[in-house]
Chains A and B, each alone.
Chain A
Amino acid sequence: MRLTVEDLCVALGGRPVLHDVTLDAGEREIVGLVGPNGSGKSTVLRAVYRSLRPERGAVRVCGDDVWRLSARQAACRTAAVLQDATGNPVGLSVSEVVAMGRTPHHGLLGRDDAGDHRAVREALAACTAGHLAAREFTSLSGGERQRVLLARALVQRPRLLVLDELTNHLDIRARFELLDLVRSTGVTTLAVLHDLDLAVRLCDRVVVLHEGEVVASGPVLETLTSALLAEVFGVAATVRRHDDGVVRVTYAADPLGTAAPTPVRG
């Protein structure tokens, strides 16, 4: 297994937010982490990219506990694309932002060599962002930014990719472009996706979090049953494979059940 999370318990400011979360992701697998706001999805990710030390349990990437690795060693294995509100990369070009992905591979005296420059060019090309290389990062559109950040993650040469709301605030075309890109990387991926419709398209498997606990996990169709969607998300919906072979979420005419005399939730 590329990623195994075992009995993960995390507390934030003394308040427990994750209870015995267990999940895994195999070679080239794309695993989606879904759940309502506040269910602990981003917290799981933070534990995986070694930002948050768990109270109990372990996160293993390629067999090693990330907290037994140094921060740099861990970052050579796991790359993340995050919604980082505090970032403000004034004056950095796109290729400089992507080159940051080489940071864990260099010590204090390390300088970018021809190989690093090539890695940056290749990653940008793979993310269809080669033409943006000389642009200033802060001048990019939302979709362009995310493609560039994905390129930065690929330059890290990760064995595990962690994505937090990769497609948030993006227009619909940019969303599908990004999903295609993620799939084309072939890197094992753990992704938080807010949009269930995108999650069922992208992921091989989903893990459903609810109030800090894993309530279901497995292949999309078997896991996201109508009963579960009603219980966890509080909406009436079905997930099924349509005639064209695509799995889609269909929301009921009255998804909240407010008009019906008997609501979905008892």
Chain B
Amino acid sequence: MTRATAPVTRRPAPAPADPKARAAPPLPLLLLGLTLALLALMLVAVGVGSVSVPPDETWRVVLAQLTGGTGTDPVHTQIIWDFRVPRVLLAALAGTGLAVAGVVLQAVVANPIADPYVLGVSSGAALGAVLALSFLPLTIGWIGVSSAAFLGAVLSAGLAFLLGRRAGRLAPTRLVLSGVAIGYLFLAATSYLQLRATPGELRSVMFWMLGSVSGASWQQLPVAATVILTTTAALVLLARRLNTLLMGDESATALGVDVHRLRAVLLVLAALLTGTVIAVAGGIGFVGLVVPHLVRLSCGGDHRRLLPLAAVTGAVYLVAVDLLSRTVDRPNELPIGIFTALFGAPFFLWLLRRNTSLDAA
């Protein structure tokens, strides 16, 4: 990795220290390659766990379930089909949702340090979940707690955006700092409620704060998949307009884009994505920061490429991190959020140091 630590003084000099002309492969080829990699990784991830299942057996079980065939080992079938397949699918969906939300938020504020986690959204979700666990009757069950987490996430995002505005426009630095402040406020409330919680409730509070895909079940998947995939598709259609936001509001307006309406639409979609992911997988941090940047660094920032590539790369990333989180300390599992933070936080700091344009903002 070249360290572009140009002094903050002036625009870079014209000729020599120049990034090479990008000759990235065409988008369909990249997408195909990444999707195949994702499928292969998912197959491996389904086979690995506290009980190891050989890849050919894994493949037979998955195939048998998909085609309605029989004759596979019942224990393996249960482990793979009831636990691991939904878990891996959920990891992939959550990765996609968070990566796409990150791309969108970074375009909305024309600043690469935006990320759903940085905006205090996961603290909001945790608070919503803890409130539901503490004050609502247990009969509301899993759906009720998920809905409360979703509402908390959307509420904190809305607050951050309201407080992050100056004279009707989103000011990036203000938005990020508002998000951090809201995150702490909600964390304080959550901590207070935790003191009153029973050990059982405490476990589930940890789940919402650190995030996990270990509790995945088939029932959660259809709604989450529908929301995440249709929202991503809608955003891909808006990709060209997202590009114009990077040039600044006035320039985007002069390109025929209704900036205020576009930004409102994008914020709603980003909050929807994040809220949905958090409702099923808790607050998994930094995915929306790491994945968009990896794609941007390797394939450029044009959203017509960036969005679809980040969607698939996000899935690959989170499936891989989930695999790591349950193999590092076998047979114990560590929360996935610990690993995303472990990779994400240093990446965030590296990004802050590298990105001199932030100083201007």
Encode A52-90 as 1/0 by CB contact (under 8 A) with B: 000000000000000000111111101110101111111
In the complex, what residues of A have CB within 8 A of residue B297's CB? Answer: 91
Kindly report which residue of chain A lies nearest to residue B237, judged by CB atoms.
Answer: A108
Encode A90-133 as 1/0 by CB contact (under 8 A) with B: 11110011001101101011100000000000000000000000
Question: Counting CB contacts under 8 A, is A213 at the interface?
Answer: no
Known A92-B301, A92-B302; judge A87-B247 contact (CB<8 A): yes
Known A84-B247, A87-B110, A90-B246; judge A96-B256 contact (CB<8 A): no
Query: Which of B19, B251, B257, B300 lies in contact with A84, CB distance below 8 A?
Result: B251
In the complex, what residues of A have CB within 8 A of residue B258's CB? Answer: 71
Question: Counting CB contacts under 8 A, is A134 at the interface?
Answer: yes
Stretch at the interface among B9-17, B134-142, B196-204: B9-17
CA separation between A6 and B18, bound complex, in Å? 48
CA separation between A71 and B258, bound complex, in Å? 7
Question: Counting CB contacts under 8 A, is B40 at the interface?
Answer: no
Contact A103 B248 (CB under 8 A): no
Contact B257 A71 (CB under 8 A): yes
CA separation between A74 and B253, bound complex, in Å? 10
Q: Quote the shortest CB–CB distance from A22 to chain B (angstroms).
A: 22
Contact B11 A88 (CB under 8 A): no
In the complex, what residues of B have CB within 8 A of residue A134's CB? Answer: 21-23
Q: Quote the shortest CB–CB distance from B191 to chain A (angstroms).
A: 36
CA separation between A50 and B255, bound complex, in Å? 10
Query: Which of A104, A110, A142 lies in contact with B255, CB distance below 8 A?
Result: A104
Question: Counting CB contacts under 8 A, is B1 at the interface?
Answer: no
What's the A-B contact tally at a CB cutoff of 8 Å?
127
Contact B250 A46 (CB under 8 A): yes
CA separation between A78 and B255, bound complex, in Å? 9
Contact B21 A103 (CB under 8 A): no
Contact B247 A97 (CB under 8 A): yes
Known A82-B250, A100-B243, A109-B237; judge A91-B301 contact (CB<8 A): yes
Question: Counting CB contacts under 8 A, is B35 at the interface?
Answer: no
Contact A100 B244 (CB under 8 A): yes
Kindly report which residue of chain B lies nearest to residue A169, judged by CB atoms.
Answer: B11
Contact A71 B110 (CB under 8 A): no
User: Which B254-307 residues have a C-beta within 8 angstroms of A?
Assistant: 254-258, 296-297, 300-302, 306
Question: Counting CB contacts under 8 A, is A136 at the interface?
Answer: yes
Question: Counting CB contacts under 8 A, is B238 at the interface?
Answer: yes
Known A103-B240, A138-B357; judge A79-B18 contact (CB<8 A): no
In the complex, what residues of A have CB within 8 A of residue B249's CB? Answer: 84, 86
Q: Quote the shortest CB–CB distance from A227 to chain B (angstroms).
A: 35
In the complex, what residues of B have CB within 8 A of residue A106's CB? Answer: 240
Contact B255 A103 (CB under 8 A): yes
In the complex, what residues of B have CB within 8 A of residue A88's CB? Answer: 110-112, 246, 248, 357, 361
16 contacts between A and B (CB under 8 A): A50-B253, A50-B254, A75-B255, A82-B251, A84-B247, A90-B246, A90-B357, A93-B302, A96-B243, A100-B243, A103-B244, A103-B257, A134-B23, A139-B18, A139-B19, A141-B12
8 A-B pairs with the lowest CB-CB distances in the bound complex, closest first:
A91-B301, A75-B256, A84-B248, A87-B248, A104-B256, A134-B21, A80-B254, A72-B256
A-B contact sample (16 more), CB < 8 A, given A91-B300, A103-B256, A142-B11: A71-B257, A75-B255, A76-B256, A82-B254, A86-B249, A88-B248, A88-B361, A89-B301, A91-B296, A93-B300, A100-B243, A136-B18, A139-B18, A140-B11, A140-B12, A156-B255
User: Which of A's residues lie within 8 Å of B, judged by CB?
Assistant: 46, 49-51, 70-76, 78-80, 82, 84-93, 96-97, 100-101, 103-104, 106, 108-110, 134-136, 138-142, 144-145, 156, 162
